[in-house]
Amino acid sequence: MNKSRTYAGIPEHLATLERAEVVLLSVPYDGTSTWQKGADKGFDAFLEASENMELYDIETNSEVYEKGVFMPEPITENASPEKMVEQVHKTVKQYISKNKFVTIFGGEHSISIGTIRAFSDSFKNLTVLHLDAHADLREEYEGTSCNHACAVYEASKTTNLVQVGIRSMDISECDAMDTDRVFFAEQMIYDDSWVDRAIDLMTDNVFITLDVDVFDPSIMPSTGTPEPGGLLWNETIEFLKKVFNEKNVVGFDIVELCPNPLNKAPDFMVAKLYYKMLSYKFSKPDFDEYLVHDVAHEDTKRAENKSEPIKSFDDE
Ligand SMILES: [Mn+2]
């Protein structure tokens, strides 16, 4: 990578470790993917798209890049999946200890075993919010527990794992899955109460691991294992906004962007997704609104409880 290249082309003085509040670590690892290769090219496509993005966010009325984004040297360890995971674990922990908001870009999903381990070491009562088409709960796959198919198995044992958008899994994963904490894509379509129910399950400290295949292939074809029936842009963004507003998001990773040079729209979508997540993290303009809204909502509920129940056909 060109040394002077900065995230989204931001000025160099905002891209130093000392100045930046955000660390953006690339792990262009593609050692265990099972179908389409190319997740190692994801970061460059993401970076290129980011450079062509407007840096003013209308919704939050903010320019979050001013917080500064530092990009360390990418992690290129690929002697084995275990060694890569260990290197990610060590490096992420190191930046967390410097009080940075650490974000990590894959690579395929096995990198998250290392990122989650680092956040779980560093933050009490961690919730891992896992957005993905796949359950990723295999204890071992193709001879290693550091395969992309095992991405959140360890998290299911060591953290409060909440899974959203799942629509593909192996029967062997049922044992490790806590279905009370899983929001299957099929159910989410018919009932949007999942948003609040998912947030209710979360502890204060939340780490988000987002596999881009959680999105519908109509908007996100550029991924190794696309699955029909996924999430769309607006509902995902609304959900994430609520999570950032109501919880302490301590970091996130985005994985499995497998770019297609003939279609750059998905790369741009991921660039925008990353920037939105940063904008939500650092501006929280709706935070008070949310509180007021929630209080008002509580008041209404209380008032409702006091008044005589309205007879409805449901009561019959
Ligand atoms: Mn996946």
Looking at residue 14, its pLDDT comes to 98
- Determine the average pLDDT of the residues in 49-74: 97
Ligand 1 center from residue 225 Cα (angstroms):
7
Count the residues in the chain.
Answer: 316
**Confidence check: pLDDT of 115 > 80:** yes
DSSP 57: B
Looking at residue 314, its pLDDT comes to 45
Question: Which residue type does 20 have?
Answer: A
CATH superfamily of the 7-291 domain: Ureohydrolase domain (3.40.800.10)
Ligand 1 center from residue 135 Cα (angstroms):
7
Ligand 1 center from residue 216 Cα (angstroms):
12
Looking at residue 284, its pLDDT comes to 65
Looking at residue 285, its pLDDT comes to 52
Phi-psi region of 264 (alpha: psi -120 to 50; beta: other; left: phi over 0): alpha
Ligand 1 center from residue 132 Cα (angstroms):
5
Looking at residue 150, its pLDDT comes to 95
**Confidence check: pLDDT of 192 > 50:** yes
User: pTM to 2 decimals?
Assistant: 0.89
CA 237 from centre of chain: 11
Residue 83: name the closest of 46, 126, 16, 31 by CA. Answer: 31
Local confidence band at 3 (pLDDT 50, 70, 90 cut-offs): low
Give the alpha-carbon dihedral of 161, 206, 221, 133, to 10 degrees: 10
Local confidence band at 36 (pLDDT 50, 70, 90 cut-offs): confident
Ligand 1 center from residue 5 Cα (angstroms):
30
Ligand 1 center from residue 276 Cα (angstroms):
21
- Taking only the tens place, the pLDDT of each residue in 263-311 is 999 999 999 999 999 999 998 654 445 444 444 444 444 444 444 433 4
Of 67-76, 100-109, 276-285, the one with minimum mean pLDDT is 276-285
Q: How far apart are CA 73 and CA 27, in angstroms?
A: 9
Give the alpha-carbon dihedral of 279, 281, 285, 287, to 10 degrees: 150
Looking at residue 34, its pLDDT comes to 72
Domain ranges of the chain: 7-291
Ligand 1 center from residue 253 Cα (angstroms):
13
- Taking only the tens place, the pLDDT of each residue in 164-182 is 999 999 999 999 999 999 9
Helix, coil or strand: residue 168: strand
CB neighbours of 277 closer than 8 A, spacing ≥ 6? 103, 208, 240, 244, 249, 252
